[in-house]
Amino acid sequence: MSLVAALIYKDNRAALEWLERVFGFERRMVLVDSDDAIVHAEMSHGDSFFMVGMEWTSWTKSPAALGGVNTQFMHARLQSDIDGHCARARAAGAQIIEEPSDQFYGDRRYRALDLDGHVWTFAQTVREVSTEDMEKASGLTLKTLPK
């Protein structure tokens, strides 16, 4: 994997537990120091993983310390049953900020806040849409930037 995101949390141990229980991610690797504090942790889902980090400098902050602002946020792709994923997350305590709905580009998606206010977009491809149909449905133009 050539690209891995690291999300900042106030309490990485609580984050691991919450993300496992509510979103169904798995612990891939946990690194602890001699006091059993977690210094580095990774969680996986499908073929991909992310890092669970802490507020270890003044420029790394959880959204919980920034009024809910996210400077980056995560887009997580599911293979199946996105509505079931949303229902389980809601039942486990996630705040759903956008209900599951079909998008013009062929995804079905929902958005949820995690324990610290990171915004997660969960998406599943539910149909193939041609560029022409996307443009027609959205009024947008899809292309690469002119060189």
Direct distance between the N- and C-terminal alpha carbons of the chain, in angstroms, rounded to an integer? 28
**Look-up: residue for tokens 């210094």?**
39
Nearer to other proteins, 91 or 145 (CB): 145
C-beta closer to other proteins: residue 22 or 41: 41
Return the structure tokens found at 38.
């977690």
CB of 72 to other proteins, least distance (A): 4
Q: Which is nearer to other proteins, 32 or 92 (CB)?
A: 32
Query: Rounded to the nearest whole angstrom, what is the least distance from the CB of residue 64 to other proteins in the complex?
Result: 9
Least separation in angstroms between residue 89's CB and other proteins is 16
Phi-psi region of 93 (alpha: psi -120 to 50; beta: other; left: phi over 0): left
Shortest spacing between CB 103 and other proteins, in angstroms: 11
The nearer residue to other proteins, 56 or 83, going by C-beta atoms, is 56
For residue 49, the minimal CB distance to other proteins (Å) is 7
Q: Are 115 and 12 in contact (CB under 8 A)?
A: no
Residue number with CB closer to other proteins (40 or 90): 40
The amino acid occupying position 63 is P
In sequence order, what are the beta bridge partners of 44? Answer: 26, 49
134 phi and psi angles, rounded to 5 deg = -65, -45
Which residues lie near other proteins (CB under 8 A)? 1-8, 13, 16-17, 27-34, 36, 38-41, 45-51, 53, 58-63, 66, 68-77, 105-106, 117-119, 121, 125, 128-131, 134, 138-145
| CA-wise closest residue to 38 among 56, 64, 20, 24 | 56
